[in-house]
Structure 1
């Protein structure tokens, strides 16, 4: 029997478990470990609450989770309740699928001012992540600056710009729903260092901005390349740029009835955030592209008013004591997924924060192939039984998948009208719900 522990229960973790099931059949026992009492990671806490169709992938993960040889072990923190060395002693293979839940720091003066939030904190706030339930975004101001030109930046802009009615069917948590309902947002500026041809925005997310009830996107036609240059783009990118061209062509008469403007500010690099104790404005340098399409400053600067700044510039994996780490890349040091004997990584913890949810599937299957090469039939380790004995000795109260189903049912029962669930935002609430 082979014993595998997967640390992290988001997409990368469940795809790895699925791959191990398919490759090893009944000759594998898999424990899915999460520090939170609830599974699904990025699906629950990262995917936008108004993108419920994307969250449906969790049904596939549930099928894996309900298998006889897979077990969910929630509310177990690596480094506190158990160490990596202890896990590798118990299991033939330990896969780190912890994702990249922490914000990359914005390396400019003023980034520590009140009112400057990372996207992990802001997205976690409206998605009900326990780590960010106490975030209090300053929504009383009128101007928000969003730094970044990817889908997360679009999510933030869209969530800030929607009416209450447009959240029908979403699972945005109540505290965020109520605060956004009374927000004074009038202008959202999306800052990007490069131009329209270098965005990391997909057509679906861009198209949504053109269908908002009270908001209208704005693109400066002068920022767009010659239309003929679009032919060199891959189809998805070409469609995204087509939306930008449509936004640039929106007549001013259409904007009159819109109370929120979402402005794409291309070729714009923030160089300083200013304010007296809290953010008041962002100093931006105009950029241009060199021959390699890298942005470089021109020396020309201007200021943008800002009552809040949300940085969407990427994420990083938190280090774990005893695990080699590449601080520059924000990921575990690894060779195609191998970290050291018996220890592996997958997904964003392996690659850094790149790719989509689906990108994690081939990644999970690839790391299981490596494990098959390395561990053979297994080394007679105790695996699940050894973990249970150790946790019992330490009085660690773990959450099972059956417990999670009770939590899930409780969240559905307390949902407001039109919402699929009202998430518990405190760990204590989650644990209490399992005894209902």
Structure 2
């Protein structure tokens, strides 16, 4: 029998571990994807109450992440996404053991998960460790981050030298904060008392000492390299200590090289310096009543030819004078009253997350596994614990008494805790701190004492929202086209983009003032001025067609396909394509020509269908062409392999027809013939093109239409929720708490994020939620960007290179489906330099930009389990480092084999993984839903109109499909639904809806990149409160 009653769970701790546990319980939409689907742990109704002993949530995100690393605080947004779920409640300033007992929670709830972290310190067992002036890194970090437990910590900064014992990332954080210029820290959320103390600090040197060699140091490469980028701070390393450790293994080479560079340049920096010492074991802290120095001995672990051994150089010891010693030797859990505790490991006593002797009680995070891993490691840890809980619930192993109802639970908690801070109170604290920070151009000014936090919670009042007629979430081309159409039609439009640059897949990025790289626009079809192709038609209707210049790829070969034993070019016409294939595979010539003819029939027939892909009326124009209609329907319903079977193609010839699979990244077994035909028709109708000024020029011109017609654009404005009341849109709320009112929202985010994160399953029909969760996503891509100091267009045509290391393309996707990467899978090489034949709008002549892409698994497990939403710490995972290095090396080998003239001329390269994509775009899968036969067509892809009144969709998740042309056309389709008129029909008829006279002039120095950035705004909430403060004062 399936249990259907609501399961009520208490989560104790509001840090990363508790947040992940709550999200797994409530089925958040950002879980690990197995074969492209959201991996949900249960369908059972669950309610979660989160308890936190402090008034504020976030745990170490608020109290542990260094203030000069704001990017690592993104994890807090995951907590915020919970706060709009009606099944979630927050009880801050409630401590287990003080206000409520563990036994009471077990009596009140069906299950309790303890995620209380590690709030104690391991013992440094050397003489003098208890002297005044010796503090733990946990205390010091809490002090500068404004943790109420440590706001009154006595920190003596009067001496000229401080010592940090330990060589992990926390040790480097501590050293960096001590050495930083206070003017830099003044722009962060560092606690006021710490900022004042550091402004008076006399410390000029911070010595970081580690017992082990630099090859075994726990700090990450990125954190180590960051030290060398600190302005005005010298980094000192003793080359002799590095030499004692021997040769570095592969994964330690980058760390070793960074330290060698520091050792060779000891005078770098200004008046302050950080010295890194290795093989330096503390044996005593010197001083009578307060710290005066650290005595050390030269001992530690080093690598030798025969393995790792202990180095013990008798008599090699010394004293480093100092007035402050900070112990950064880890964290340790503290007992929870009423629960069994493992004193040896410093964790709750448990088995696979189940707390021993306490049925229904569980542990996750550091209190479960000890202080190991990065923030994102808690995601899998919490998932394992939640699975154990749900398995026990399904097996009837939870305590049999019924949990209390929600109202009774609330009353019980408030009876025992006199100053509960709920979500409204947290919002008030957050708003008050941000307001105070706004006045000083800082992210926030933290309250650092419990009474002040409670007072702020009780005194806060929300600010009323602004209103727009239409809000567009996301600035991908679908969203920008919709916004441009609506703004040009006289609507009040606001575009909200979480990134700092507009454009989505059309974005570019630049490096070193010489090179520009395109993220997603590589080549498009049919951009002949004045033609009826989609892109020129949309741009013409918006009045900007003549403001964009296009470079045409080589008509004899827009792509050059390199197979293990064959090479052929893909011309931009059907007959030439068939001829090249027949010449390359003479044994399959007849079958290939017949196959290309059938694809042509399908592709050209698709041009005649109605432009209403959300309806079966799409095929009405073919009612009088029954044969053509039957062929098109068959092409949609059957995978491309069926066509190959009918024409009896050999495996090698099949690969030739699948050579452009990089354009959709869908396994052949799931690729409909219609998709292949439509893609070829897109390029063969009127040639292949690339925007001469890069993909950013598309977003820039659309942005100018929006702005010149009274629209508003805001970047770095991430939306937390689409607000719904009684089944209709009322506005949006940003992650900083700002509320903006509207009756219409167009979401350019992908379907999973739109419905499962921004709207929430509670506002949707169950079948809609199931449908969204069932959408398969395609595999992701690994991108490598290469800069060269030669012009490769001098000797090569305007072509892309498509490499296939095997003839059986399906094998590549079978491997990907099983979480494996295929080093022989497809690799696409695209160069803006080649496509524009060396014409540069940015950088200097004689240099080349090259981009390479290949398919890789998107699953977190493949990349080492990190979570980009927790900040960039995932990059420090050994698995991540190894995977990235391995794939990048393979990509570079294949690029150099194809473009050998680059040998010796590559001056810069950088790679992006699926986790990189997610960190910047909130998605690891850039293609949208998989373009498979069961996910394309009326009723299979999402309509732009949703079941929520006032909510519309734009972008690759909709029936208009993916790709630059179809996404832009889809943007017009969405705007048409909002306005109630067919804009594309009007555009084809020659109507221009924008006021061309209002568009800004494009002079010689016009730069599309500049147009797409600089739209950051503090937000109306902060501005209103700032004005109110001025008025009141």
- Return the TM-score normalized by structure 1: 0.94
Structure 2 residue 177 is matched with structure 1 residue 177: no
Match of 2:103 among 64, 82, 85: 85
- Structure 1 residue matching 2:376: 3-state secondary structure: helix
Any conservation in 2 of the 1:279–1:307 contact (CA below 8 Å)?
yes
Please state if 1:229 is matched with 2:252: no
Q: Which residue of 2 aligns with 1:30?
A: 48
Matched, 1:286 2:298: yes
> How many residue pairs end up in the alignment?
430
Contact 2:96/2:337, CA 8 A, preserved across alignment: no
What is the alpha-carbon distance in structure 2 between the residues aligned to residue 112 and residue 295 of structure 1? 28
Corresponding residue for residue 187 of structure 1: 205
Once the 2 structures are TM-superposed, how far is the Cα of residue 298 of structure 1 from its aligned partner?
3.4
Give runs of aligned pairs for residues 25-424 of structure 1, distance below 5 A: 25=43, 27-225=45-243, 229-230=247-248, 232-234=249-251, 237-252=252-267, 254=268, 258-289=270-301, 293=308, 295=310, 297-300=312-315, 301-339=317-355, 340-376=358-394, 379=400, 380-382=402-404, 384-394=406-416, 396-415=418-437, 417-424=440-447
In structure 1, distance between residues paired with 2:276 and 2:177: 16
Q: SS of 1:102's equivalent?
A: coil
Equivalent residues of 2:133, 2:155 under 8 A apart = yes
Q: CA deviation at 1:15?
A: 0.3
In 1, Cα distance between the equivalents of 2:362 and 2:279? 39
Judge conservation of contact 1:315–1:353 (CA < 8 Å) in 2.
yes
Question: What is the match of residue 11 of structure 1?
Answer: 16
Distance in structure 1 (CA, Å) of the matches to 2:447 and 2:19: 23
2: CA distance between counterparts of 1:293 and 1:146?
25
Q: Distance in 1 between matches of 2:431 and 2:309?
A: 49
Q: 1:225 to 1:185 in 2, by over 3 A?
A: same
The alignment partner of 2:299 has SS state of strand
Question: 2:646 matched to which residue of 1?
Answer: none
Residues 365-420 of structure 1: per-residue CA shift (max 9 Å, x gap): 11110001112287531164443232344363311111101100000111252310
CA distance in 1, matches of 2:201, 2:106: 49
Farther-moved stretch of structure 1 (218-227 vs 237-246) = 218-227
Residue 251 of structure 1 and its aligned partner are, at CA, apart by: 4.8
Offset of residue 211 of structure 1: 1.6
Secondary structure, aligned partner of 2:170? helix
The DSSP-based 3-state class of the residue aligned with 2:350 is coil
Residues 49-84 of structure 1: CA deviation (Å, up to 9, x unaligned): 111011022112210232111111101110111110
Alpha-carbon distance in 2 for matches of 1:73, 1:251: 51
Larger Rg: 2
Q: 1:411 to 1:289 in 2, by over 3 A?
A: same
Distance of aligned partners of 1:96 and 1:293 in 2 relative to their CA distance in 1, 3 Å threshold: farther
Contact 2:281 2:300 in 1 (8 A): no
Corresponding residue SS for 1:390: helix
Once the 2 structures are TM-superposed, how far is the Cα of residue 316 of structure 1 from its aligned partner? Answer: 0.8
Question: Structure 1 residues 20-29 or 42-51, which shifts more?
Answer: 20-29
- Whether the 8 Å CA contact 1:270–1:283 is kept in 2: the answer is yes
My pick for the range that moved more, 321-330 or 221-230, is 221-230
Tell me, in whole angstroms, the C-alpha distance in 1 between the residues paired with 2:83 and 2:309: 44
Q: For the Cα contact (< 8 Å) 1:4–1:383, is it kept in 2?
A: no
RMSD, aligned α-carbons: 1.9
Give the gaps of 5 or more residues in structure 2: 1-5, 28-40, 461-1033
Q: Secondary structure at the match of 1:204?
A: helix
For 1:328-352, what per-residue CA distance to the aligned partner results, in whole angstroms no more than 9, with x for missing partners? 2111111121113111100101010
User: How far apart are the structure 1 equivalents of 2:368 and 2:417?
Assistant: 32
Output the CA distance in 1 between the equivalents of 2:381 and 2:203.
40
Which of 1 and 2 has higher RCO (CA within 8 Å, sep 6+)? 1
CA deviation map 1:253-305 (0-9, x unaligned): x35xx211211110011111111210001110110427764656433321110
Q: Distance in 2 between matches of 1:203 and 1:247?
A: 13
1 CA distance for matches of 2:43 and 2:101? 28
Structure 1 distance, partners of 2:414, 2:171, is 44
Q: 1:94 to 1:147 in 2, by over 3 A?
A: same
* 2:450 aligned to which of 404, 412, 427: 427
Q: Give per-residue Cα distances to partners, 1:65-121, cap 9 Å, x unaligned.
A: 321111111011101111101111111111110011222221111001000010111
- Tell me how far 1:135 sits from its aligned partner: 0.8
Distance 2:109 2:309 in 1: 45
Measured after TM superposition, the shift of residue 228 of structure 1 is 8.8
Cα deviation code 1:228-256 (max 9, x no counterpart): 933x232xx4323322121111153x35x
**Alpha carbons 1:90, 1:386 under 8 Å: kept:** no
C-alpha distance in 1, partners of 2:59/2:288?
37
**Which secondary structure state, in structure 2, belongs to the residue aligned with residue 190 of structure 1?**
strand
Runs of 4+ in 1 over 4 A off after TM superposition: 225-228, 294-297
Question: Residues 215 and 245 of structure 2 are in contact (CA less than 8 Å); yes or no, is this contact kept in structure 1?
Answer: no
**Cα gap change, 1:395 to 1:279, in 2 (>3 Å):** closer
CA offset at residue 219 of structure 1?
1.0
Instruction: Out of 320-329 and 221-230, give the one that drifted further.
Output: 221-230
Q: After superposing the two structures, state which structure 1 stretch, 2-11 or 369-378, moved more.
A: 369-378
CA distances 1:112-149 after superposition (whole Å, capped 9, x unpaired): 10000101110000000000000121101111010000
Measure, in 1, the Cα distance between the counterparts of 2:384 and 2:160: 48
- Write the distance in 1 (CA, Å) between the matches of 2:334 and 2:351: 19
Return the offset for 1:168. 4.7
What do the CA deviations read for 1:12-51 (whole angstroms, capped 9, x no partner)? 0000011111134560010110011110001000000111
Query: Aligned pair 1:21/2:21, yes or no?
Result: no
